[in-house]
Amino acid sequence: MVKSLARWTVKELVLKIESTKEAILFLEALQKYVKKVDIIADYYPGKATIKLEGAKEHIQDELELVKELHKTVKGIIYPDYEGFFDYDLTFLSKMMGKSFPVKLLEKILVLKGYETIREDRTLISKVDYETFKNLLNELDRVLSNIPYEVSTASLRNVLVIIALTKDLAIPEAIQLANEQGIIREDDYQRLKLKIEPEQAIKKCLKITN
């Protein structure tokens, strides 16, 4: 018992919090990620006090995790001096309980006019967090409404891009794609692209360059 108590450690960390929005996302992240030690988090306007209690071999790693989570949250909530936000899709997928296709998101953001850079599973973009979060929810909704007849991933991605860029429902996106002559039915009534995905997108969105 003495040996067990000797290995039990308590660490406390005080972090600057600039907004309620930051506090909410950060505290939610702590609940999702910190599992190896007990954690008590108190938020007051301007700061959060984080108290970790647990086995000595876990405390330091979890303390570093808390700091990293706070850094990730700040990158999401606040832009840098050039106006870019850092969206860690691995983090946001865990927080929202959904998986998001990074390349597809990047394409949609660019077509919507937001300067965006992709680095692995992070999107660095000039779109603010609320708009980005709404886009994630819309993307999830649209993907869940793709009908069985859409038989290829390339067509699915084209339809999703059309739907989210032009604010259309999937049936409307399919109708537009059909009107533009970019899809065909095979012998089993499944839909496929007639042309390359990039050409299909340009044709439906009337992109000339």
Domain that holds residue 11: 2-78
Domain membership flag for residue 139:
no
Give 66-122 pLDDT, tens digit per residue: 999 999 999 999 999 999 999 999 999 999 999 999 999 999 999 999 999 999 999
Residues 6+ apart with CB under 8 A from 71: none
Contact yes or no for 126/86 (Cβ under 8 A): no
- Number of domains, the chain: 3
Q: Give the model's pLDDT for residue 2.
A: 44
Domain membership flag for residue 100:
yes
- pTM attached to this predicted model: 0.87
Residue 182 sits in the same domain as residue 203: yes
1 pLDDT above the threshold of 50? no
In whole angstroms, give the CA distance from residue 171 to residue 117.
30
Domain membership flag for residue 135:
no
In whole angstroms, give the CA distance from residue 191 to residue 6.
66
* 25 SS3 class: helix
Domain membership flag for residue 193:
yes
201 pLDDT above the threshold of 70? yes
Residue 153 sits in the same domain as residue 115: no
Residue 201 sits in the same domain as residue 166: yes
Q: Give the model's pLDDT for residue 21.
A: 95
Residue 13 sits in the same domain as residue 71: yes
Q: CATH no. for residue 31? A: 3.30.70.360
Segment 41-59 shows an average pLDDT of 92
